[in-house]
Chain A
Amino acid sequence: MSATTAGTVRHESIYSGGIASWLTTVDHKRIGVMYGVTALFYFIVGGVEALIIRLQLATPEGTLIGAEAYNQMFTMHGTTMVFLVLMPMAAAMFNFLIPLMVGARDVAFPRLNAFSFWTFFFGTILLNLAFFVNQAPDAGWFGYANLTSKQYNPGLGIDFWVLSLQIMGIASIASAINFTVTILNMRAPGMSLMRMPLFVWMALIVQILMLLAFPVITVGLVFLFFDRFFDTNFYVAAAGGTPVLWQHLFWIFGHPEVYILILPSFGVVSEILPTFSRKPLFGAPFVIFSGILIGFLGFGVWSHHMFTTGLGPIADTAFSLGTMLIAIPTGVKIFNWIGTLWGGHIVMRTPLYFAVGMIALFIVGGLSGIMHASTPIDLQQHDSYFVVAHLHYVFFGGTVFGLFAGVYYWWPKVTGRMLGEGLGKLNFWVMFLGMNLTFFPMHFLGLDGMARRIYTYPAGVGWEQWNIVATIGAFVLSVGVLLFYLNVVRSLRSGEAAAADPWDAATLEWSMSSPPPEYNFAVIPNVNSARPLWLYKYGPTRDISKRSKEDGTPPQPDHPVERIELPSPSHWPLVAAAGLTLAGGGTMIGLLPVLLGVAVLVIAVYWWAFQPLERPGNPVFEPGGGSG
């Protein structure tokens, strides 16, 4: 039924080649896949950590693990889910999709992109190495000073945490620069900012948030590193330092980080709802500007994480009201999403289930967020299970459901195969049930006075019932997640082949075969509308006739119409990332590995800089299908 003609030639070969081709690739699609695989691996790791936490808390005075191991579990669970799962899963989508959506053949700096991935990847290994020396970090994902000081935390755990976060932060900043430039400079002719897909818009806001927020945590981590390694006193109260300084630095990063985690999902939902409602996004400019406003306001509300710190009523009022303001643009988004569904012909497929599930669950997290935006209420709810409930409605209900929606939506484009529809819906319902069963009772636990981060709690104070429900829910949720992995495996083995445009969508990434050819676009498209493919297929219909200047962009031809030369693979980004990680992680051992790491880094960057982009062996594609 789709008017598309592309996709008769299949391009599965873009993933062929040995392990060396993956280690040296600079193709944004392969790098995207590597981010995705890494994130899905750590999703299991972080999930197992969560199950251990829930088993320990299933009954009062649980004895599964001790106090130290429990503190390590929730620290690693939080750090893993934020930095090793949600951010890289979003990065996977940015990598794979942004060039395809803006009509580019790759990102602006392909080798820097590979460097970002490998730096992130080595950072994740460094963090988890802590388990193997039995000294996992144990001060929480927020790592409040001065519990992280050498005096109160003498082991290597915090060192692993500081260094791996610092290294992954470098990856994030490099990647943020790369995608900002890609989005601003590499859009196809005619794609003005207001014609850019919503997902790319939200991605752009996320890149800018990362560019501005990560330097702040970098400074905070440098201070902590100096305190621990060189006996400085930034956070040492006894020597005149201020532990509360860490809280400010951490949350000036940490609150924008919340939007770094949620905005990609907002972008995903803003793509999926129009496709499955068969209508444009309702009020697109308002959705875009509310995203910008959320990002902007997000930098001015960090102290709402610190209402119990004792900042005084004036600061409490300012941060309380500032936080409440964020509810307005967030509400605008939600109403526009409902407006998109309204009057549509809603096609009930799995991506839509997850997208609507994301909205339904995020509403709960958003509303409980308004509760603790109110300082006095937060004085009760802060650091209680109420906040655990809130943040999981935002990050699991919001981010994870949104990202799952995105995976179900773009999986055909990435792999050339469909995910199972029946299994997908089962996956959704089990996850939806498990999610609510796990996290909704935590509201009650918080109101009943149960504090966070406690490995044991007394019997007979009324917490048993909801804790056992939450633990059962966590296992239901795990079954739901396993159904997803099952679906993935089945699709890769025997999934139905995906057409170029399986959902009858509107944006450029559906205008070429699934998976796309290595060069993405056989011909760089001319974009004349926010919905180039839709207009090509359906033409201007009643409501858009007043925008008669807009017209569609045809699907891509199967073969290049001009000679296309792509950047050559390079192993130097990988070597540079390894050198950087060795230099960073080596600080825990001594000067020798640090010097060795720096030497590797310098040499790699030198050779990288002098390696020509175009050289013999470059992938070259000739018009008419020949390649050399």
Chain B
Amino acid sequence: MEPRSAQLGRISPGCSICRTVALLTLGVALTGCGVADLPDWSTVQPASDMGRSILDLYKIVLWWTGGIFVVVELLLVYALIRYRRRPDDTGVPDQVHGFTALEISWTLVPAAILFFIAIPTVRTIFDVQRPPPADAIEIAVTGHQWWWEFEYPDLGIRTANELHIPVGRAASLTLTSADVIHSFWVPRLGGKRDLNPGSENQLWFTPDSVGVFDGQCAELCGTSHANMRLRVFVETAGSFDAWVDQQLQPAVEDSVGVQVFLASGCVACHAIAGTPAQGKIGPDLTKFGSRSTIAAGILANEPDELAAWLRNPERVKPGSRMPNLNLSEERIASLVAYLGSLR
């Protein structure tokens, strides 16, 4: 794959049509696309064991199907050119009805090729769904319209939309939904798995690179399905432990900020550990200030963007379950300051 990527990389990225035509002709070059500057979401640049075994399997199937593509399309084009009617073709061609030996061979050859695809497929099916190792870090994931709830039952941490996991250690997710069906998908960390209301699904993978990996709900879940993103921070063991320690520190029980929070109606849905705010409907905000994004990965956690969100959630996230509380600018400013301080 590498040499091919390098070749494709040399084609000017501006010439999309040239590239499309080139790739169409090659047919087999699917993985080559855009390798030069792979985006953060690419399934062909995996950062976990699951992602890698899927990519390995994909490459096997790609080469077989790519080969079949080239052979069959060439046969088709050859037949069209070679057997085009010419001026001297006056009579009728030989009225051939078929040839049984050919029928048998073009039944058996594809069957044999499928065998070579099926074997690694079945192996990988069982490989990615075997039980997680005993030392896996357990995370309960609950989908909501339109945000993610993450709970670390063994660590006593509850957070939202941004998942922190240590590199090199299996992360075992137990997935369910509080409302409609969602699907957990962080492309670089592996395949997706649905979050079904009323039942639990399992997904586990071992991340092998430190980094920030973005994801997106992959099952249509209503108006703001597109606005249900998530972010996974894969960290070294040391930074992960530091993050855990930070998350476990409760907020100050009472402060001017808490009072504004309680008085503004936020408390009906949101919880801040250590304070009287214990709402369960919306995301837990205990360490809100430590997150990089808000509103399920669609805004940066900056004072301006947070203020815009508080001013009118519907405008940022259509259909948002968070109501517009008609907060005064003064109050919004205090809330922004307070939430930003929750680190």
- Nearest CB in chain B to that of A246: its residue: B181
Are B83 and A346 in contact, CB atoms less than 8 angstroms apart? yes
Shortest Cβ distance from residue B177 to the other chain A in the assembled complex, whole angstroms: 8
Q: With the chains together, A381 CA to B51 CA distance in Å?
A: 12
Q: With the chains together, A140 CA to B180 CA distance in Å?
A: 14
Query: Is B10 on the interface with A (CB-CB < 8 A)?
Result: no
Query: Is B237 on the interface with A (CB-CB < 8 A)?
Result: no
Are A543 and B42 in contact, CB atoms less than 8 angstroms apart? no
Query: Is A394 on the interface with B (CB-CB < 8 A)?
Result: no
Interface string of B76-104 (1 = CB under 8 A from A): 10011001111001001111111100110
Q: Tell me which of B53, B92, B98 contacts A282 (CB under 8 A).
A: B98
Q: With the chains together, A462 CA to B85 CA distance in Å?
A: 47
Are A338 and B83 in contact, CB atoms less than 8 angstroms apart? no
Are B216 and A454 in contact, CB atoms less than 8 angstroms apart? yes
- Known contacts A320-B122, A380-B192, A543-B97: does B61 contact A371 (CB below 8 Å)? yes
Are A308 and B191 in contact, CB atoms less than 8 angstroms apart? yes
Are A321 and B122 in contact, CB atoms less than 8 angstroms apart? yes
Interface string of B256-293 (1 = CB under 8 A from A): 00000000000000000000000000000000000000
Query: Is A494 on the interface with B (CB-CB < 8 A)?
Result: no
Q: Tell me which of B83, B107, B199, B220 contacts A332 (CB under 8 A).
A: B107
Q: Tell me which of A317, A332, A356, A544 contacts B106 (CB under 8 A).
A: A332
- Nearest CB in chain B to that of A239: its residue: B198
Contacting residues, chain B, for A465 (C-beta < 8 A): 13, 16
Interface size on A, residues (CB 8 A): 107
Q: Tell me which of B58, B76, B86, B199 contacts A371 (CB under 8 A).
A: B58
Query: Is B325 on the interface with A (CB-CB < 8 A)?
Result: no
Instruction: Name the prevailing secondary structure of the A interface residues.
Output: helix
**Residues in A335-380 with C-beta less than 8 Å from chain B:** 335-336, 338-339, 341-348, 356, 359-360, 363-364, 367-368, 370-371, 374-380
Query: Is A68 on the interface with B (CB-CB < 8 A)?
Result: yes
Contacting residues, chain A, for B98 (C-beta < 8 A): 282-286, 336, 339
Shortest Cβ distance from residue A530 to the other chain B in the assembled complex, whole angstroms: 9
Q: Which of A19-27, A169-177, A442-450, A605-613 contacts B (4 or more CB under 8 A)?
A: A442-450
Query: Is A455 on the interface with B (CB-CB < 8 A)?
Result: yes
Interface string of A267-292 (1 = CB under 8 A from B): 00000000001111011111000000
Query: Is B247 on the interface with A (CB-CB < 8 A)?
Result: no
Q: Tell me which of B34, B39, B57, B125 contacts A313 (CB under 8 A).
A: B125
Interface string of A294-337 (1 = CB under 8 A from B): 00000000000000111011001100110011011001101110
Q: Which of A92-100, A144-152, A200-208, A619-627 contacts B (4 or more CB under 8 A)?
A: A144-152
Q: Tell me which of B37, B188, B191 contacts A462 (CB under 8 A).
A: B37
Are A237 and B80 in contact, CB atoms less than 8 angstroms apart? no
Interface string of A28-69 (1 = CB under 8 A from B): 000000000000000000000000000000000000001110
Contacting residues, chain B, for A348 (C-beta < 8 A): 84-85
- Nearest CB in chain B to that of A364: its residue: B69
Interface string of A415-446 (1 = CB under 8 A from B): 00000000000000000000011001101101
Are A356 and B76 in contact, CB atoms less than 8 angstroms apart? yes
Q: Which of B133-141, B163-171, B222-230 contacts A (4 or more CB under 8 A)?
A: B222-230
Query: Is A382 on the interface with B (CB-CB < 8 A)?
Result: yes
By CB atoms of chain A within 10 A, which of B69, B98, B201, B224 has the most? Answer: B98
Shortest Cβ distance from residue B137 to the other chain A in the assembled complex, whole angstroms: 20
Shortest Cβ distance from residue B42 to the other chain A in the assembled complex, whole angstroms: 5
Are B191 and A440 in contact, CB atoms less than 8 angstroms apart? no
Shortest Cβ distance from residue B41 to the other chain A in the assembled complex, whole angstroms: 3
Q: With the chains together, A153 CA to B145 CA distance in Å?
A: 13
**Residues in B288-306 with C-beta less than 8 Å from chain A:** none
Query: Is B9 on the interface with A (CB-CB < 8 A)?
Result: no
Query: Is B111 on the interface with A (CB-CB < 8 A)?
Result: yes
Contacting residues, chain B, for A379 (C-beta < 8 A): 54, 128, 190-193
Query: Is A139 on the interface with B (CB-CB < 8 A)?
Result: yes
Q: With the chains together, A66 CA to B193 CA distance in Å?
A: 27
Q: With the chains together, A360 CA to B25 CA distance in Å?
A: 12
- Nearest CB in chain B to that of A453: its residue: B220
Contacting residues, chain A, for B96 (C-beta < 8 A): 279-280, 282, 343, 543
Query: Is A243 on the interface with B (CB-CB < 8 A)?
Result: yes
Shortest Cβ distance from residue A543 to the other chain B in the assembled complex, whole angstroms: 4
Shortest Cβ distance from residue B261 to the other chain A in the assembled complex, whole angstroms: 29
By CB atoms of chain A within 10 A, which of B39, B61, B125, B222 has the most? Answer: B125
Contacting residues, chain A, for B226 (C-beta < 8 A): 67, 451, 453-457
Interface string of B173-209 (1 = CB under 8 A from A): 0000001110101011011111011110110000000
Query: Is B149 on the interface with A (CB-CB < 8 A)?
Result: no
Q: Tell me which of A153, A240, A449 contacts B187 (CB under 8 A).
A: A449
Query: Is B210 on the interface with A (CB-CB < 8 A)?
Result: no
Q: With the chains together, A453 CA to B181 CA distance in Å?
A: 14
Query: Is B250 on the interface with A (CB-CB < 8 A)?
Result: no
By CB atoms of chain B within 10 A, which of A328, A347, A356, A364 has the most? Answer: A328
Are A71 and B30 in contact, CB atoms less than 8 angstroms apart? no
Q: Tell me which of B23, B76, B84, B227 contacts A359 (CB under 8 A).
A: B76
- Known contacts A443-B30, A469-B17: does B69 contact A363 (CB below 8 Å)? yes
Query: Is A238 on the interface with B (CB-CB < 8 A)?
Result: yes
- Known contacts A277-B93, A448-B34, A544-B95: does B117 contact A370 (CB below 8 Å)? yes
Query: Is B20 on the interface with A (CB-CB < 8 A)?
Result: yes
Q: Tell me which of A382, A383, A436, A538 contacts B92 (CB under 8 A).
A: A538
Query: Is B340 on the interface with A (CB-CB < 8 A)?
Result: no
- Nearest CB in chain A to that of B127: its residue: A376
Query: Is B244 on the interface with A (CB-CB < 8 A)?
Result: no
Q: With the chains together, A143 CA to B228 CA distance in Å?
A: 19
Besides A68-B318, A343-B93, A437-B17, 16 other A-B contacts (C-beta < 8 A): A152-B180, A238-B198, A308-B183, A313-B126, A320-B125, A327-B114, A331-B110, A344-B85, A374-B61, A379-B190, A382-B191, A448-B41, A451-B185, A461-B41, A462-B38, A543-B96
Interface CB pairs A-B, < 8 A, 6: A316-B129, A342-B79, A348-B85, A363-B72, A384-B43, A451-B216
